Amino acid sequence: MAGGRRGAAGRTPPPRTFSEDADRLSAGKSSGRYVGPQHVTMPNIPMDSNLIFEFMMFCYTMAALFLQYLHLYRTVWWLPHSHNSLAMASHSNFYLIDPYLVLFIATVLGRRLFWTLVTSFSNSLFPNFARKYADKTLKTFVVVCVVITLLLCTYQIFQNHPIVNFFYLCYPLSVYFILFWPDFMAFFSLIPYYEVPGIRLDDSRARPHRPLYHSCVGGAESIRDEVDAFKTDFNLRMKQILFNSLLNAYYAGFVPCCFAQNTLHYDVYWVTQHLGCVWVSCFNWYIVQCYPPRYCDLLHKTALHLGKWIRLEGKTAHLPYTQWTSSVIWPHGSLVKHSREIFRAEGVSNAAVPGNSTHSRFFMLFSNPSTLACLLLSLQSLLVVAQLFSLLRTSEWQNIVSVALLLFGNYYILFKLLRDYVIMWKVYRAEQLIQDTKN
């Protein structure tokens, strides 16, 4: 901000004050002299396609369901006088695993896999002019099949179980209607739109399902509109992550316990530990899929343009402030007065509203997304270490099998989080060095 460039005659102009900088930006905002943050291009990091992700998630949750049944219905099949020759109780024993309950859970856990398979089939088989009608027909077919299967399974289940179990079985579905109604398609689609570079954010409010993109060209109002659109999209994805991770853990770990016989004795500690591990694993897996590095980079670029304000305390009467104007992109260090308080601009540029907590949180979270990646990596690392510790301490065969199988999925999540964190840390460190050199 202090003038460091020499004029045509080789003289160095005197330093400008904060108020002079703000007046210059306000008078010549559209003159093209303002230079925004310097962005570094995020490399194209491979990520799983929707079909592969849904297939792996379905396999993981079904394996978790099987392992929970293993905790509940394990047998002492290796003893010489045991009445069971199988590792789990079969249908001829007193401990009965309801096949209709298993089918109900598999339908709920595999609904998006079925939806993705049908969508991929439609996109590859039908030409463009017929794809729109084929999509509607096939998606209607998927919804009808899923609903009919769930209703038939529910009817069969309550032929042999008390009515109170109905609330255990259908509780998450009622929560879905509270959270997502009237968006019925959110039950089948994790991410309603995808990021394709090159489209601006001008009419995102008029078309809420339009993909969101960052644009470096625009004034302060455009930057704030972009922040609002990204904030809404981020919150919708987080709502999906929380709901689906809890849904998977609920049906794969909790529902089998609810439908177990009253006379069944099992290890509550290991059943609860299994439930918690499945929830944390699914949560991190959804985070990796819904917030890939390229998406986080879009939010990061917007946060750099947004900036943040620091409220100054103490004696500020004699500071050279300027009245805040919503149409100005303020440079770093500017002093403004807004709502009878003095604020100082932080960041390369500043288009935020002073005192706006939403803008402050957005800048704090996404000014350096590698910090969030580090927190998720730490959480996943703690989960893996805890499972390894449990594996070393246990001697029962069903616990060893359960922890060992779940670890395979957690190793994969740990690898992806570690890769994303290392790449993001290097990219944003280089970006910071470039920005410091430029300033």
For the stretch 209-267, pLDDT in tens is 445 667 776 787 888 888 888 898 899 899 999 999 999 999 999 998 888 877 777 78
Q: Which residues pair with 337 in a beta bridge?
A: 323, 342
Cα→Cα distances 282→60, 295, 419, Å: 9, 20, 18
Cβ neighbours of residue 338 under 8 Å, at least 6 residues apart? Answer: 309, 323, 324, 353, 354, 355
Query: What crossing angle do the helices spanning 111-125 and 99-109 adopt, rounded to 10°?
Result: 50
In terms of DSSP H, where are the helices of 2-127?
18-27, 50-73, 99-109, 111-125
Tokens of 434: 């470039």
439 alpha-carbon distance from chain centroid: 34
Amino acid (1-letter code) at residue 211: P
Residue 397: name the closest of 95, 94, 88 by CA. Answer: 88
Instruction: State phi, psi for 367 to the nearest 5 degrees.
Output: -65, -25
pLDDT band at 31 (very low <50, low <70, confident <90, very high): very low
Contact 425, 370 (CB under 8 A): yes
Instruction: Output the CA torsion sign for 341, 344, 345, 347.
Output: negative
Q: Where are the domains of the chain?
A: 198-305+362-439, 308-350
State pTM to two decimals: 0.80
Residues 6+ apart with CB under 8 A from 235: none
CB 383, CB 362: distance < 8 Å: no
HEC per residue, 389-432: HHHHHCCCHHHHHHHHHHHHHHHHHHHHHHHHHHHHHHHHHHHH
Whether residue 354 is preceded by a cis peptide bond, meaning omega within 30 degrees of 0, is: no
Say which amino acid occupies 318: H
Top mean-pLDDT range of 70-79, 130-139, 203-212, 222-231: 222-231
Q: Kindly tell me if the per-residue pLDDT of 54 is higher than 90.
A: yes
CB 206 within 8 A of CB 130: no
Q: Which of 215, 214, 293 is nearest to 44 (CA)?
A: 293
> Which pLDDT value is given to residue 376?
94
What average pLDDT does the chain have? 78
Q: Which of 278, 332, 340, 280 is nearest to 309 (CA)?
A: 332
Instruction: Choose the most confident range, by mean pLDDT, from 72-76, 82-86, 369-373.
Output: 369-373
Under 8 Å between Cβ of 98 and 160:
yes
User: For position 229, what pLDDT does the model report?
Assistant: 86
pLDDT digits (tens, 9 = 90+) for 397-419: 888 988 999 999 999 999 999 99
- Report d(CA 228, CA 358) in Å as an integer: 9
Q: Is 219 left (phi over 0), alpha (psi -120 to 50) or beta?
A: beta
Q: Give pLDDT, residue 197.
A: 38
> Which pLDDT value is given to residue 334?
80
Mean pLDDT of 144-171: 87
CA separation for the pair 32, 407 (Å, rounded): 55
- Average pLDDT estimate for 148-161: 88
SS3 state of residue 296: helix
